[in-house]
Structures are given as C-alpha cells and as structure tokens.
Chains A and B, each alone.
Chain A
Amino acid sequence: MKSFFNDLEYFSDATVFSTKSEEINYERLLKDVEECSLHFKSRNLVFILCENSIECVIGYLSCLRTGLVPLLISSSLDEELLLELLNSYKPNFIWTNRNLDSLNEKWKMVHSNRTYQLLKSTDHFEHSFHNDLALLLMTSGSTGSPVLVRISYKNLVENAISISQSLSISQQDIPITTLPINYSYGLSIINSHLLKGCKIVLTEEGVLSKNFWYLVNAKGVTTFGGVPYTYQMLKRLGFEKMHLPSVSKLTQAGGKLDSNLVKYFAESCADKGIQFFVMYGQTEATARMSCLPAKDAIRKSGSIGTPIPNGSFYLLDDANNVISESDEVGELYYEGPNVSMGYAYSLTDFSKGDENEGVLATGDLAKMDKEGYYYLVGRKKRFIKVFGNRISLDEVENLSQKNGYSSVCTGMDDKLIIYTTQENNLKELKDMISAKIGIHHSAITVRYIPDFPRNDSGKILYSKLKVD
C-alpha cells in the first residue's frame, strides 16, 4: 500500500511545494526532511506549531518517517494554554516558528529550517507509545484540557488513499491551502495530494486576500477546500462572477452548509465547469468519511453523499437496533480503516491500543434515502460547529467556571450563546471566552439570566434556554 510520507522518493523532480517566494521539488523536500530527521532517533513526542509553510510540513513528515509522534497545534494558540499542554504532555521536542518567551532555559535549539526552529528539552521524559500510534490531533483546538485523538499509521495511509479515490485526485491537481494543517480536513488535503505527487501551494492568506487570488491564478491552482464559513465568504465575494480559469474542483466539509448555499455553489460551479464535492468528516475518523459526487450536487443537494471507498455507514435507533428503512432517523455510525484508535486524556493514554476497533459513533443524527444517500438532521452530543471548529458546550461551561463565571451554554452552528447569572462583566466573559477558544467575538452572545432553568433533580434544562 502506497504511503504519502514513506514514498516521497517516487516523484523526485516534480514540484511539491510552491509559496509566494519559493518552489521546491520532492527530491529537495526529501533532503530537508532527512536533515531534520537526524535529530529524531527514538519514539518521542513532538509539539508542532502549525502554519501553512514548507518548513512546517517538513517537521510533520520527518516525524512520520522516523516514528516520532507529533501533536499538531494551532500556531496562534493562547500561550497560557500552550504552557498547560506542555505541562500535561511533556514533549521532548517543539517545532516552532514562534518565539516562546515563556519557555524556560531547559529548551535548546538543535536545528532550524527557514523560519522554524527545533527546540529540544534537556529534561528528557520517557513516554510509552503504542506501536501503531502515528499522530495526535486536537478535537476542538481550543479549551484548556483538550481531548486528543490518537491516529494510527494505517488511519493516515488508508484515509489519504480513500479520499484521493473519491475525488479522482491525479498528479495534475494543484491544491492551494485554505485551512490550517492542525485541522484534520486541512491536513488531509495535504496528505491526499502528496500521495499523488501533486504540487501543493502553501499560503497563510485566505479567500479575502488579494495575494490568495494572485496565487490561484499565477500557480494554476485547480482545487481548494472550505468549511461552511469559507463558502459564505465566497458567496459574498460574488463567486458566480469570479473568473477562475484554472479551478476545476472544489470541496466542502467541516460542517453542514446551508441548503441555499449548496444550491448556489452546485449551480455556479456547474456553470463554470467546476466539480463541487460536499464531504463529511470528523477528526475521530482521521478526516473524511463520505462524499457526495459532483454529478449529484444539484439532484441530492443537502446530502453528505455515500461512504468513501472501504468505509460504510449504518444507523442505530434509540434501542441500538440497526435501521433498515429509508428516511428513518437514527445515530450515524461509520466503519472503516480510518477510524482512529481512540482518545487520549493524558500522556498515559499514549500506550493504549485501538479502542474503537474500526467503528465510530459519530454523535450525528442522520437518515438515508432510497438510493442510499445520507443526510444529517441533527446532533446527539452537546457541541456546535463555529467556523468549522467543533466547540463542546460543556467545555465552554467548564472554562467559564474555571475563570470565575457561572454559566450555561447553548447555541447552533456559528452561534455560541452563553447564559450567566452574573449581571455585570458580560463583556469580560465574552472577551475571555473569545480569546481562550480562539473564536471571533461576533459568534458569541452572552446573556444575563437570574436563575438557570433546572428540573427537580437540579439538572439544567437546556431546552428552556432561548437559542435565537
């Protein structure tokens, strides 16, 4: 089975990365990766502060090739939270482009590549890792004690292959980044294109930037992905009027796109000769689980499609019986080789084996139509997606509490609503949560409530809290 990180040799002189100032081929990438790998001898934990740059990906690939386990972290993560993570997980290396002022003198720089430095701890900690463990990702990328998802080598290799088959990725495809690498969907775009020997355009600029569109045209970009918010911005930019001659394939995942927008993009893309793929995924499944083929974008608008190759879906009712009728709602389960090994709540969990055994309870409620296409209709668990990021409502409550606020949370996608019994400090609470979870304040509403609605046994009645 071909591996996107072990078989880089295969593409030698093809261009692999292109940025606004540099272009390198697979051979050169390999040389940089090997240099970085000289410092990686035994299985260790590495924190990677992620940005869409050549040097960041070099660190990531070096880890995978030498058996070090990286935890991918947003480079804009609040410094206090980063220190908490360092404390909890005790990495022996940090691959960073940021000056970490608060680090103590036990960190020494041992290698650098372009803007990144490899810091090594002189205070070595001996972790115990399961043999299959390849990578750690954060589920929400936010709050103080994040849950990590344990991804295996097999998960990574298999998901890259299934995605590249679903989207018929070939070496002619040229993606541009629109999402961070620490976000599973963003990472899977890199992985699935490295597998095919593609040229990947790396940029930190987004769709609102002139430089982004300059790169799209100058580099002949054929494809990019986006979360619902990306597509809202593209619509506002007047996507239907934009001239994008090289673009031939767009993907959407990271949350449910509003049905009007699905229709708008399905139709505008059809006009432009662009294939538009709606996909569905979760970090717990490495990245993606299903795909709605572009040819069905209009006919099956609103659907998440059918499982990717080697995966399957089924629905369970409240009594855990498999639903065989069409159009009946149940919890969506996914089975496939990309289902992660499980969670890690502390560093002792790194030695655990596969707890999921290939089956994932998604927490999403769904139904299937007569032709076998799946549709999401709601959620079983208490979380919302804000700009593509999963936010656990319970975690936000804990975070408020930790910072001295009494609050309960509700909301819907792109709208977090926090109710507090403290009448003053509404703005302070909002700014604190915004900073800690890294979500723009416009998506957060804080309201005063004299008492939280509770049932007789004191449980919060979330259904009594207004969501609009």
Chain B
Amino acid sequence: MTNKEKYDQVFIDSFSVTADQLNEGLVYQSVQQWDSIGHMGMVAALEDAFDIMLETDDIIDFGSYLKGIDILAKYEVVV
C-alpha cells in the first residue's frame, strides 16, 4: 500500500466515510463520527500505520483531511 492509500484508509475506517468524501470538505466535526472519540481513534491509527508519535500541538491542529497531510510531512511521512 502507498502512503496515500494508508492515509485514506485510516479516514475511511475511523469516520465511516466513503472515498469520494476525502477532500477539503472533510474537517473536524463535519461528519458525525469525527468527534473527539473518532479523532483520538484516527490519531492512534495514523501512528500505527506510519510508526510515528504525534505531538500535542499536532493532535490539536489536525483539523482536516488536507491539514493532516502537512502535519505528517513534519514526521517525514509524504502522503
């Protein structure tokens, strides 16, 4: 699996969304399942998938599907 595929799969699993919802419109609390609990699940899943450990500020800043791509770049994960 490519990084992009892994990244997308985490969103699909964590928030029960479909592939066509993976765009700039997918932001924190924009879908019912992306609440605080879904958010923590997503963070844990990304950490597992890419073997990284996100910092406090990055967990809090991770407000959208697109923003997450920038954040992962800081951990040398290119999506």
Contacts and interface: CB of A to CB of B under 8 A. Distances in A.
A206 B36 contact: yes
Contact of A442 (B14, B56, B61): B14
Interface string B28-42: 100011011111110
Interface residues of B, number: 18
B71 interface: no
B37 A443 contact: yes
Contacts of A237: 56, 59-60
B59 A442 contact: no
A442 B36 contact: no
A299 B16 CA distance: 43
A431 B16 CA distance: 9
A185 B35 CA distance: 20
Contacts of A242: 56
Contacts of B38: 440, 442
A174 B67 CA distance: 33
A123 to B, nearest CB: 32
- Most B-side CB within 10 Å, residue of A238, A435, A440: A440
Most buried by A among B37, B43, B60: B37
User: Which secondary structure dominates where chain A touches chain B?
Assistant: helix
A309 B32 CA distance: 41
Contacts of B61: 210
Nearest to B15: A441
B60 A209 contact: yes
A209 B59 CA distance: 9
Interface string A184-228: 000000000000000000000011111001000000000000000
Interface in B1-60: 14, 16, 28, 32-33, 35-41, 43, 55-56, 59-60
Contacts of A233: 36, 40
Interface in A236-266: 236-238, 241-242
B57 to A, nearest CB: 9
A267 to B, nearest CB: 18
Nearest to A387: B37
A237 B60 CA distance: 8
A77 to B, nearest CB: 13
Nearest to A229: B37
B56 to A, nearest CB: 5
Given A207-B36, A210-B61, A441-B33, 13 more contacts: A208-B36, A208-B39, A208-B40, A209-B60, A232-B40, A236-B40, A237-B59, A237-B60, A238-B55, A241-B56, A440-B33, A440-B41, A443-B37
Interface of A: 206-210, 213, 229, 232-233, 236-238, 241-242, 387, 431, 434-435, 440-443
Interface of B: 14, 16, 28, 32-33, 35-41, 43, 55-56, 59-61
